[in-house]
Amino acid sequence: MTIRALEQALADFAAERDWEQFHTPKNLAMALAGECGELLELFQWLTPDQSTHVMDDPRQAQRVREEMADVFAYLLRMADVLELDLEQAVVEKIESNRNKYPVHLARGRADKYTNLGEED
Amino acid sequence: MTIRALEQALADFAAERDWEQFHTPKNLAMALAGECGELLELFQWLTPDQSTHVMDDPRQAQRVREEMADVFAYLLRMADVLELDLEQAVVEKIESNRNKYPVHLARGRADKYTNLGEED
Amino acid sequence: MTIRALEQALADFAAERDWEQFHTPKNLAMALAGECGELLELFQWLTPDQSTHVMDDPRQAQRVREEMADVFAYLLRMADVLELDLEQAVVEKIESNRNKYPVHLARGRADKYTNLGEED
Amino acid sequence: MTIRALEQALADFAAERDWEQFHTPKNLAMALAGECGELLELFQWLTPDQSTHVMDDPRQAQRVREEMADVFAYLLRMADVLELDLEQAVVEKIESNRNKYPVHLARGRADKYTNLGEED
Q: For B3-45, what is each residue's pLDDT tens digit?
A: 999 999 999 999 999 999 999 999 999 999 999 999 999 999 9
Concatenated DSSP letters of D39-59: HHHHHTTS-HHHHHTGGGSHH
Alpha carbon distance A72, A76 (integer Å): 6
Predicted confidence (pLDDT) per residue in C82-96, tens digit = 999 999 999 999 999
C25, D54 Cβ separation under 8 angstroms: yes
Cβ distance of C29 and B33 shorter than 8 Å? no
Chain D residue with minimum CA distance to C102: D17
**Please, what is the average pLDDT of chain A?**
95
Predicted confidence (pLDDT) per residue in D37-62, tens digit = 999 999 999 999 999 999 999 999 99
The average pLDDT across A27-45 equals 98
- The pLDDT, as a whole number, for residue C118 is 54
Instruction: Give the Cβ contact number of residue A5 at 10 Å.
Output: 11
Residues 6+ apart with CB under 8 A from D72: C75, C86, C89, C90
Residue D34 vs residues A30, B52, C26: alpha-carbon distances, Å:
10, 20, 17
DSSP H or E segment with residue D100 = helix D86-100
Dihedral over Cα of D99, D105, D110, D114: its sign = negative
For testing contact with chain A, the best of C19, C26, C28, C45 (most A CBs within 10 A): C45
Cβ distance of D32 and C39 shorter than 8 Å? yes
Nearest CB to C79; choose among D49, D68, D82: D68
Alpha carbon distance C41, A29 (integer Å): 11
> Does the predicted TM-score (pTM) go above 0.90?
yes
Predicted confidence (pLDDT) per residue in B44-74, tens digit = 999 999 999 999 999 999 999 999 999 999 9
Cβ distance of D30 and B37 shorter than 8 Å? no
- The pLDDT, as a whole number, for residue B120 is 47
- The pLDDT, as a whole number, for residue B113 is 85
Burial class (CB in 10 A: 0-12, 13-18, 19+), A38: middle
Chain A residue with minimum CA distance to C23: A45
**DSSP for residue A17:** T
Predicted confidence (pLDDT) per residue in A37-65, tens digit = 999 999 999 999 999 999 999 999 999 99
Reduced to 3 states, what is the DSSP secondary structure of residue A3? helix
Structural domains in chain C, sorted by start: 3-82 (1.10.287.1080)
Alpha carbon distance B7, A55 (integer Å): 18
Instruction: Give the Cβ contact number of residue C9 at 10 Å.
Output: 16
Q: At what angle do helices A86-100 and A58-82 cross, to 10 degrees?
A: 100
Residue A50 vs residues A82, B97, C44, D86: alpha-carbon distances, Å:
37, 30, 32, 34
A40, B33 Cβ separation under 8 angstroms: yes
Concatenated DSSP letters of chain C: --HHHHHHHHHHHHHHTT-GGG--HHHHHHHHHHHHHHHHHHHTTS-HHHHHTGGGSHHHHHHHHHHHHHHHHHHHHHHHHHT--HHHHHHHHHHHHHHHS-HHHHTT----GGGTTS--
DSSP H or E segment with residue A58 = helix A58-82
D67, D42 Cβ separation under 8 angstroms: yes
- The pLDDT, as a whole number, for residue D120 is 47
- The pLDDT, as a whole number, for residue A120 is 47
Cβ-based contacts of D43 with chain B (< 8 Å) = 30
Lowest mean pLDDT, pick from A14-18, A107-111, C47-51, C55-59: A107-111
Cβ-based contacts of B33 with chain D (< 8 Å) = 37, 40
Q: What percent of chain C has pLDDT over 90?
A: 91
Instruction: Give the Cβ contact number of residue D114 at 10 Å.
Output: 8
- The pLDDT, as a whole number, for residue C34 is 98
**Please, what is the average pLDDT of chain C?**
95
- The pLDDT, as a whole number, for residue B112 is 87
